Amino acid sequence: MGEPVHSTLRRRRGRPLAAAACGLLVAAAVAGCSSGPAGPPVLNFYTPADNATGYAAAAEACTQAANGRYVVTQQTLPKAADDQRLQLARRLVAGDPEVDLVGLDVTWTAEFAEAGWIEPWPDDAAAAVEKGTLEGPLETARYQGRLWAAPLNTNTQLLWYRKDLAPQPPQTWDQMIQMSEGLHDQGLPSYIEVQAAQYEGITVWFNTLLTSAGGQIVSENGDVLVDDGDAARKATSIMQRVASSPASDPSLSVAQENDGRLQMEAGVAAFQVNYPFVNASINTPPPDGGGGGTFIDEQGRPTSEDTGRRVVDVFAWAPYPRVDPDKPATVTIGGLNIGVSSTGGNQDLAFEAAICLRNREAQLTNATQGGVPPTLSELYDDPAFQAEYPASQAIRDSLENASVRPKTPAYTSISIVLADLLNPPAQIDPDTIVPRMATEVERAVNSEGLVP
């Protein structure tokens, strides 16, 4: 396995070990280990199920580009991120030599690096990845000063709003709450849609508000910082006000990304913070999309009558609302990175293949056919990408001011305890929750107690 970040011990596992075992078996006259002609090394590339066809196409293209030196074979992981992580972890812990390249959720980089499941990138390969890659996605691949993965796709949130209800989009959360309550007083659609259910989405919402206010949950060294200054109090105060406002969506405490999208398409939401897939959805006919949303009347209320005007006709985007009026929001970014397994036996070829798998053509295909924003800055000027993402400039701007999730192996545990404390957001007490968060995050960092 690879070298854990804080360990001097290193034990290689993988194909050399398997080959040695095979040799012993041959010596014992057991047939079957060396049958067939030797071919080029096969590099297995494990990816999420979403956009699997795009990753498979890139694998095929890189196999052709390798000109017989290696073959890249795409392998599909389960659809759910937790199931993907579990399967990869089990195989890497077991020293599986058939795992060469792994598609990593950006939240796993520190954990996989700390465990020694992935290899740090050599200087020359790291320089090739860093050239032309947006800084926000690049930061998700770094840990303890080294590059541990190559950003393949990224994602960020924007403010999506109804321009008939808000001709000038709000620039801050304070403005958005005031505008929402003003719409409610007029009997107009007023909901602010956010990810407030008890899952990682509410942790992401909190992290964005916290970092936008100048705070941080935990350092890379495990120092708990969430209770430093008043950033956490500002963040939790906004969450409580959004959820407890008379203008709020009564189902907000169970809302995830798709719930907000559906409320906007149904004509009852005025604002939502969400990922760019909502724009593709509202512009896609059923059953794959929202078909433009419901009809709306002259005042903007949803109606079953054919008024000739739908939600899509007044649907617009703007930068994510600020916490500090003088500073852009630092939106927590997502995405997928490529890591080189420490259990495969062809790391040098795997680094070369990983660079190919995230090249310009592969990322453009993933963006236009898979709907995931690229990490290469030059693609944001490409007409093909701009056609797929009309909000491409806003996405790029958001990525350039991005924040990342806490870079710690304990992130999964931290997210679980924070989601439990922050949900339901209407019951948050900003005066008491911050010290509790600090205590629980400290326990999660130290792997103490049971998570909820």
Could you report the per-residue pLDDT of 111-139, keeping only the tens digit for each? 999 999 999 999 999 999 999 999 999 99
pLDDT (tens digit, 9 = 90+) per residue, 320-334? 999 999 999 999 999
- DSSP string across 207-245: HHHHHHTT--SB-TT--B-TTSTTHHHHHHHHHHHHHHS
**366 phi and psi angles, rounded to 5 deg:** -60, -35
The pLDDT value given to residue 451 = 60
Please identify which residue in the block is written with the tokens 């405490």: 253
Identity of the residue numbered 67: N
Structure pTM?
0.86
Q: What is the mean pLDDT of the chain?
A: 91
Are 42-154+332-400 and 158-330+408-446 the same fold in CATH? yes
- CATH fold label, 42-154+332-400: D-Maltodextrin-Binding Protein; domain 2 (3.40.190)
CA angle centred on 189, ends 185 and 192, rounded to 5°: 95
The pLDDT value given to residue 433 = 98
**274 phi and psi angles, rounded to 5 deg:** -165, 175
Please identify which residue in the block is written with the tokens 């995230």: 358
Architecture in CATH of 158-330+408-446: 3-Layer(aba) Sandwich (3.40)
> Does the pLDDT at position 7 exceed 80?
no
Identity of the residue numbered 43: L
Ordered by start, the domain boundaries in the chain are: 42-154+332-400, 158-330+408-446
Per-residue pLDDT, averaged over 272-288, amounts to: 91
The percent of residues in the chain predicted with pLDDT above 70, rounded, is 91
CA angle centred on 277, ends 271 and 278, rounded to 5°: 30
The pLDDT value given to residue 450 = 58
- Band of residue 371 on the pLDDT scale cut at 50, 70, 90: confident
Strand-pairing partners, residue 46, are 75, 102
Identity of the residue numbered 107: T
